[in-house]
Structures are given as structure tokens and as C-alpha cells.
Chain A
């Protein structure tokens, strides 16, 4: 019971507070707007007409789907390669985890350095083979992809670790059965291993989808949402509205929408984890 009480205080109470502020036109530069509930839906009506909000949702979806897709692919490939119990591979595994524990600010700085034309070793290498040397961070078609690359690098260890854990707990029988039936390595992988991994892949994807709003430091440092609004996902837009323009009420309304989606996805995770526990 006390655990539930703490749970309430630290998670549910702030959420309720957030919903309450989202129903007010709270503007930090105008103190009178505190607890002004005369027109509770004003922010939500504005949201429907706000093109910047719509574009931020599109950027968020693009960013989330692309990062999660590539993280799953990279995580799966590397997990399959590393799935042997040798000392060498265990050491290698520890190295692969490094990007994930680095401070996100440092990850952002690393990629800013790699993508800034003047100092970019990537551009130098492209020049060597006579390829164009784009100004990555200020090109509207490339800026979002620099964020995606940095995010995939930062978080592929997570999908890798989850898939690796599943691979190591995988029962031997189905693999042996496939072998006896004469399946080759690729066939075994696609028809036996991959279906067995499906639950953990879906779970990892949901986790990363929810956490993909945490790309904030990357965007803040690498592109500041630009050029224009091409790298401005929803949570970054909420940050700008609330903390650059002081429109906390409006920012809260955007955050409530983001929060609702996170809850929806979390609920899916809990349901999935629940069914998995029953299977065990």
C-alpha cells in the first residue's frame, strides 16, 4: 500500500496537475492566467488549428518509426552475431553497451562534431571519393536523418541486449528439431528463431517507440529543431511553447496528448508482458 501511495504522489499527481494546467490559458508572463478555467478547451481548440503542431506530429512519427526500425535491425543482427558464450564476446558486448550509457549531451556533441562541415571527417572522406559533401545539419532533407543516425547509434544497444537475452533463454528443442528436419542455417533463422523472437522484438519496439520522445538533447544541440521546423518533433514543440514563449497552458495541452500516447503504448506493453508471463 505505501508503494501505491508513493506511486500516486510521484506519477499520478503530476499528471493530474498537467491536465489541470492544460485547461487554462496559463502564460507565465501574465500571472492572472493561473487557474483560469473559464474556457477549459481553448488550448485543445487551438491545437486543431495549429499547423506547427501538425507538422511536429509528422516529424515525431517519422523520427520514431525510422529510429525504432533501424534499431531493431541493428540490434537483431548484432545480437545474433554475439550470441555465443565466450569471454571475447562478453567483452565485446560490454563495449557495444557504451553508446547507451553515455550522457545524451555527449552523444549529441559527438554527432554535431561529425556532421559540422568545417570539422567533419565524414565530409572529408566523402570528398576523397568525389561524393558531394552536404551541410548535413542545415539541409532540410538531411537534418532529420542526422538525428535518426545519432539516435540509432545511441539506442541500438538496448534492442541488442533485449534480443540477446531472449536468444540466450531460447529452448534448444525447436532448433534441434529444425536441424534434424534438414533446415539450413538461414531457414532455421527465418522459420524458427525469428518467430520465437517475435514477442521480444515487439516489446523492444514498443519500449523504444515510447522512449523515442527522449531524443530531446540530440535535437536541442544538433539542430535546435531547424532548419525551419523540419526537425521539431512534438515534445520539442511543447518545450518551445512552454519554456521559450512562456505559454505553459498550451505546452501542457501538447504534453497531455504526448502523455496519452505514451500511456496507450505502455498499456500495450503491460498487456503483452502479462501474456508472456502466462506463457512461462
Chain B
């Protein structure tokens, strides 16, 4: 960058720039995180404190909102539905999608473009365009307001993603171990179960978490395809807004509970998360 004789000066300037940069970054983090932190602190205040302006930044946190929420059977019910639908979706899409991804990876077929297209179309199509046919068919065959119906819809989105993410992961595994197993007389299912799967634990975990996020975060399909029996938490929380004004305490505490697994999981797999978030947009 500079000739050796002038080096010391730019270096000092560089240090100032670094400090300035860190200050700017921290400011940006503050701005970006403020809305998120705001709702968290609100959920820990009493209804009265939440309305107090200027807002108290130092306060004794209370869990009364959470307690009243956990005593609310209808909310617990929606939370259980969300957990059930998301878990079944994850299990099924992994059980079907992972072996399929392995076969695709090892058979060297050029199915790349068709999976990419599938990921892209399920991701791109406006949800309402899927919701109408699913709604009409589900009405005919009695799948409205059932966990099975919800899982079926989520599978269409998750299977493609599982195949896409796991295929790139399997492609990255060294073939030599599997070849050694074949020479020792193992067949393909054995190689898959004993060699490839144990080596792919990080990829499996990331993909599973990603599937969970997609199903858990869904609002639109749950809104249209469920009624009271299988209503999920994101739809259920909206109900707190309709009754006698707004139950701010319950709404904020409910929001925190709904986002808790998502935030926890994302931070857990943050390294791999980025690959999943941009799936279909960036290769590999």
C-alpha cells in the first residue's frame, strides 16, 4: 500500500480508522438489535411499567407475563401444535430427503438443475398461489385443521431444501472411506448408514434446524389451513390482539417464547446457517 519510508504514519491513521470502524459497527448493531431487544425488555415488565414513558431502562424484571401465559391453556395448546407440526415435518423431511440427497450425490446424475429449480419455485411462488389449491383439496379430503395437512404443506417446502443442503454436504465428503467400505463388501445402504451419516452430523444438524425454522415460522399456511384444533402459536398469538384492547404483556411474552427456539437454534448453527438462508441464491 505504501512505501516503507512512509509506513508509520498511515499505520497510526489506520488504527484510528479501525476504532472509528468499530464504533460505527457497534452503532449499527445497536440500531439493528434495538427492536428485538425492546420487545424482550417489555415482556419482563408489568403492564404499568410497559406503558411508562420515559421508559425505565433499569427495572426489576418480572415473569408475571410468562406465568399468566403458561396458565393460559389455549396458548399452551397452540404452542404444542407448533411443536408437533414442526417436529413431524423435520423428522419426515430428513428421513425422506437425506437418503435421496445421498443417492443424488453419489449417482453423479445431473439432477442439480431440477432440484435447484424445485428449491427456487417453492421459495419463489407466492404463498397464496399454493394456499388456494391446498385449501380446496384439503376441504374435499378432510385435511383442514389437521396436523397431517399442515405437515404435508411444509414437506413441499422442506424436502427440496433438505435435498439441496445435504447434497452439497455429501459432495464435500471424501469418497475414499466409502470406497474402502465397498471393497470390504459393504453395500450402499450400509455405507450410507455406517460411513456417510456419522461423518455428516454437522450437516444433518444444520439442515434439521433449518427445516424446523421454516415450519415453525410459518404464519400464512397455518392461518388458512387450521382452525381451533390445530392452530399454531404464530396464529394463536394474534388472538391476544382482538379481545378487550391489547394484552401487551401476554403478546410480548408470547412473542419472546415463539422466537426463543429460533434464536437459540440460529446462534447454535450460525456458521452453516448462512448457506441455508441463501439456498437457491448462492451456489453451495
Q: Which of B125, B129, B266 contacts A97 (CB 8 A)?
A: B266
Complex contacts, A4 vs chain B, CB 8 Å? 114
Which B residue's beta carbon lies closest to that of A256? B129
- Residue-wise interface mask of A (1-39) relative to B, using a CB-CB cutoff of 8 A (1 in contact, 0 not): 001101100110111011001000000000000000000
Closest approach, in angstroms, between the C-beta of B214 and any C-beta of chain A? Answer: 10
Complex contacts, A10 vs chain B, CB 8 Å? 118, 122, 156, 159
Of the 9-residue stretches A51-59, A134-142, A213-221, which lies at the interface with chain B? A213-221
B237 contacts the other chain (CB 8 A): yes
Q: Which of A7, A21, A161, A203 contacts B132 (CB 8 A)?
A: A21
Please, how many angstroms separate the alpha-carbon atoms of A114 and B259 in the complex? 18
Q: Which of A88, A97, A221, A238 contacts B128 (CB 8 A)?
A: A238
Q: Which of B237, B255, B281 contacts A203 (CB 8 A)?
A: B281
Kindly name the residue among B25, B53, B126, B266 whose own CB sees the greatest number of chain A CB atoms within 10 A: B126
Query: Does the CB pair B38–A109 fall under 8 Å?
Result: no
Interface residues of A in 189-243 (CB under 8 A from B): 203-204, 207, 210-211, 213-214, 216-217, 220-221, 235, 238-239, 242-243
The total of interchain contacts (Cβ-Cβ below 8 angstroms) comes to: 214
Tell me the count of chain B residues lying within 8 A, CB to CB, of chain A: 77
Chain A's interface: helix, strand, loop or mixed, by majority?
helix
- Residue-wise interface mask of B (102-140) relative to A, using a CB-CB cutoff of 8 A (1 in contact, 0 not): 001000000100110110111111111110111111000
B8 contacts the other chain (CB 8 A): no
Known: A15-B133, A101-B263, A106-B39. 14 other contacts (CB 8 A): A3-B118, A6-B118, A10-B159, A95-B32, A103-B259, A109-B237, A114-B38, A121-B53, A121-B55, A158-B277, A165-B278, A213-B126, A242-B132, A248-B135
25 contacts between A and B (CB under 8 A): A7-B114, A7-B121, A11-B156, A13-B133, A95-B29, A97-B274, A98-B266, A99-B35, A101-B277, A102-B217, A104-B217, A106-B259, A109-B252, A113-B38, A113-B252, A119-B50, A153-B32, A162-B281, A165-B274, A207-B281, A213-B128, A214-B220, A221-B241, A243-B135, A251-B132
**Which residues of B are at the interface with A, using a C-beta cutoff of 8 A?**
1, 21-22, 24-25, 28-29, 32-33, 35-36, 38-39, 42, 50-51, 53-55, 100, 104, 111, 114-115, 117-118, 120-130, 132-137, 156, 159, 163, 213, 216-217, 219-220, 223-224, 234-235, 237-238, 241, 246, 248, 251-252, 255, 258-259, 262-263, 266-267, 270, 273-274, 277-278, 281-283
**Which residues of A are at the interface with B, using a C-beta cutoff of 8 A?**
3-4, 6-7, 10-11, 13-15, 17-18, 21, 78, 81-82, 88-89, 92, 94-106, 109-111, 113-114, 116, 118-119, 121, 124, 153, 157-158, 161-162, 165, 179, 203-204, 207, 210-211, 213-214, 216-217, 220-221, 235, 238-239, 242-243, 248, 251-252, 255-256, 258-259, 262, 265-266, 269-270, 277
